[in-house]
Structure 1
Amino acid sequence: MKLGVFMVLFGGKPFEEALDYIAAKGLDAVEIGTGGYPGTAHCNPAELLADAGKLKAFKHAVESRGLTISALSAHGNPLHPQKHIAKEFHDAIIQTIELAERLEVPVVNTFSGCPGDHEDAKYPNWPVAPWPNDFQEILDWQWENKVIPYWQETGKFASDRNIKIGLELHGGFSVHTPATLLRLREAAGEVIGANLDPSHMWWQGIDPVQAVQILGRANAIHHFHAKDTSHDYNNTNRFGVTDMQSYANMLDRAWQFRSVGFGHDMKVWADIISALRLVGYDYVVSIEHEDGLMSVDEGFSKAVANLQQVLIKEPLGEMWWV
């Protein structure tokens, strides 16, 4: 496995300065935002696709520092019921797939999206309860009319270019659990896989080790984010895991994102890394920093130091003891 970072946290630094900082930390890979929620601070796909010289210089900037690009990321909601919003996210995903092909980057990360509850809806509707039965009807309509058709078409566009789609399992979107990821993969093909982030498993009450095994047995992990979650169970008892308070209200929230090792100890993270190895995942572990109690530099540095203790880097040898 290789250690990488989602560069969006260094969006305030110029691209090459951020690459220098990352390389100095001993990392192997970078994941780069290319639109949608991550923005285009370090990479504007339209510019690079239109200018071969800029594209070559961009690629050289990464490779000359001994780094590789693990994924391009254009997280967004391409199924948003307001068509102009959906189009912006969709266009970012399509351009990112085209750029990934040109850069020979194997994975594009994004969200599945979440539609509304009917054709004339204005806002997404995320059904999470089986009753009253209205929610089941909404869910069926969304998947049959929006989620599956969109990803069948967009998945084919990516597959034709030898690009895999890594969908982040994230609350608020149609694909948010191992089961929903596998449902979409069955309908849209193996081009669809997970950009698995354990932090979103923990707050939903899902064991990330089991999520790795469920998805890994189906060869459905295309990319992996390293981010932690901590719980305040007194607050959970008040607000539940679907706590709608702002992330900034950290003292009162049921759960919050943390840097690796500050929500769960390193034995838990060692178990996650071991599970990844067990199911054959030998790609990048990409640090994502969203810890409201630490600066970017400190949270990132601690995540690097903690993951370096447990990351399994060397190829498997023979079992000499067997």
Structure 2
Amino acid sequence: MKIGFYTSTFNDRPLEEVVDFAASAGFDAIEIDVGGHIKTPDRVEDAVSLARNRGLFVSSITFFGNQLDSDRDKRRELRARTAEFAAAIGETGVPIFVIFPGRDDTTSEEANYDDFADFTNGLIAETRASGLTFAIENWPGPRDNFIGTTPKGWQELFRRITDRRFGLEFDPSHLVRIGVDPYRALEAVKDRIAILHAKDTAIDREALQTLGYHSRGWWQYKLPGLGLLDWPRFLSRARGYGFNGTLSIEHEDAAYGWPSKDLAARKEGERLGLDFLKSVLNGL
């Protein structure tokens, strides 16, 4: 497996600086954030070349946005932009384009799944020549209600999107905080994992007892190895299922400078994550 990180942790820094750090720190790969480091489809090729010239594998490009936005004009605009990025990414040979399904609160659950599946099937057809894979991250969204972020939701999507060029950017940290067993969840979708996000979650049981699930402050995202996930168990299972792709660290650990605080601390966090994941993989 390759080890990289998602550049959103450094969205306040120019991409050239970020890839220089990634290469010098010993990372194999990079996952580039559109909003922070690419901005427009015409800049995809330059961003990818910048990373590759530093010897980095560009594992994926990630484009944030609610593809089911209830505002129809915003939805059309985002989807048109998504299609433009997909075409540009496909031309570079980057293997994976990560998007977020979102949710339209004004319609039914089934309609949300149908709509997103229709859109994604269209993207897959339009990029057949490049073979680009599309993946969704199982982030529940700012209101914890995005579709396709639980085992049941994944099956709803896979039933509608049968092409294996659609899969998951599987992030166990989200599952830990919503009460889903990440090991069982991984097994159930083992043939649909496009990329793994390396992020952990810590839970303050006393705060949870006081505040309850429908509150804030009882859980925190952590760097891999600093939360509840058993990484040797998790990665051993992933490898056993045939996954040999990229582990992309998504650094959202407030103890190490996130978000956009001390730059040295953020870099230290990335290095700690890299060292930890290397040690786990070497021990498998």
**Cα drift, residue 107 of structure 1:** 0.6
Return the alpha-carbon distance in structure 1 between the equivalents of residues 268 and 147 of structure 2: 33
Partner of 1:165: 134
**Cα drift, residue 214 of structure 1:** 1.1
Structure 1: gaps (5+ residues): 50-54, 119-137, 246-252, 315-322
Return the alpha-carbon distance in structure 1 between the equivalents of residues 192 and 184 of structure 2: 13
- Structure 1 pair 111–292 and aligned structure 2 pair: CA distance change class (3 A): same
**Cα drift, residue 155 of structure 1:** 3.5
| 1:291 aligns to 2:253 (yes or no) | yes
Checking the alignment, whether the CA contact within 8 Å between 1:203 and 1:241 is kept in structure 2 is no
Which of 58, 61, 76 is the aligned partner of 1:87?
A: 76
Please give the residue correspondences for 1:214-293 in structure 2 after superposition, counting only pairs within 5 Å: 214-216=188-190, 219-243=191-215, 245=216, 253-264=217-228, 268-293=230-255
Checking the alignment, whether the CA contact within 8 Å between 2:93 and 2:130 is kept in structure 1 is no
- Structure 1 pair 282–211 and aligned structure 2 pair: CA distance change class (3 A): same
**Cα drift, residue 313 of structure 1:** 10
Q: Which has the higher contact order (CA 8 A, sep 6+)?
A: 2
Equivalent position amino acid for 2:195 in 1: H
Checking the alignment, whether the CA contact within 8 Å between 1:147 and 1:174 is kept in structure 2 is no
Partner of 2:160: 187
Return the alpha-carbon distance in structure 1 between the equivalents of residues 283 and 128 of structure 2: 29
Larger Rg: 1
Range with bigger deviation, 148-157 or 90-99: 148-157
Structure 2: gaps (5+ residues): 258-265
Please give the residue correspondences for 1:2-151 in structure 2 after superposition, counting only pairs within 5 Å: 2-34=2-34, 39=35, 41-48=36-43, 55=45, 57-118=46-107, 138-144=108-114, 146-151=115-120
Equivalent position amino acid for 2:123 in 1: T
Return the alpha-carbon distance in structure 1 between the equivalents of residues 198 and 92 of structure 2: 24
Partner of 2:121: 152
Checking the alignment, whether the CA contact within 8 Å between 1:273 and 1:312 is kept in structure 2 is no
Return the alpha-carbon distance in structure 2 between the equivalents of residues 15 and 60 of structure 1: 11
**Cα drift, residue 159 of structure 1:** 4.2
Return the alpha-carbon distance in structure 1 between the equivalents of residues 283 and 74 of structure 2: 41
Relative to the length of structure 2, the TM-score reads 0.88
- Structure 1 pair 186–58 and aligned structure 2 pair: CA distance change class (3 A): same
**Cα drift, residue 225 of structure 1:** 0.5
- Structure 1 pair 240–25 and aligned structure 2 pair: CA distance change class (3 A): same
**Cα drift, residue 68 of structure 1:** 1.0
Partner of 1:52: none
Which structure is higher in helix share? 2
**Cα drift, residue 75 of structure 1:** 2.1
Equivalent position amino acid for 2:73 in 1: H
**Cα drift, residue 242 of structure 1:** 4.3
Which of 304, 310, 313 is the aligned partner of 2:280?
A: 310
- Structure 1 pair 236–154 and aligned structure 2 pair: CA distance change class (3 A): farther
**Cα drift, residue 66 of structure 1:** 1.2
Identity of matched residues, %: 25
**Cα drift, residue 160 of structure 1:** 5.1
| Number of equivalenced pairs | 271
Q: Which SS does the other structure have where 1:193 is aligned?
A: strand
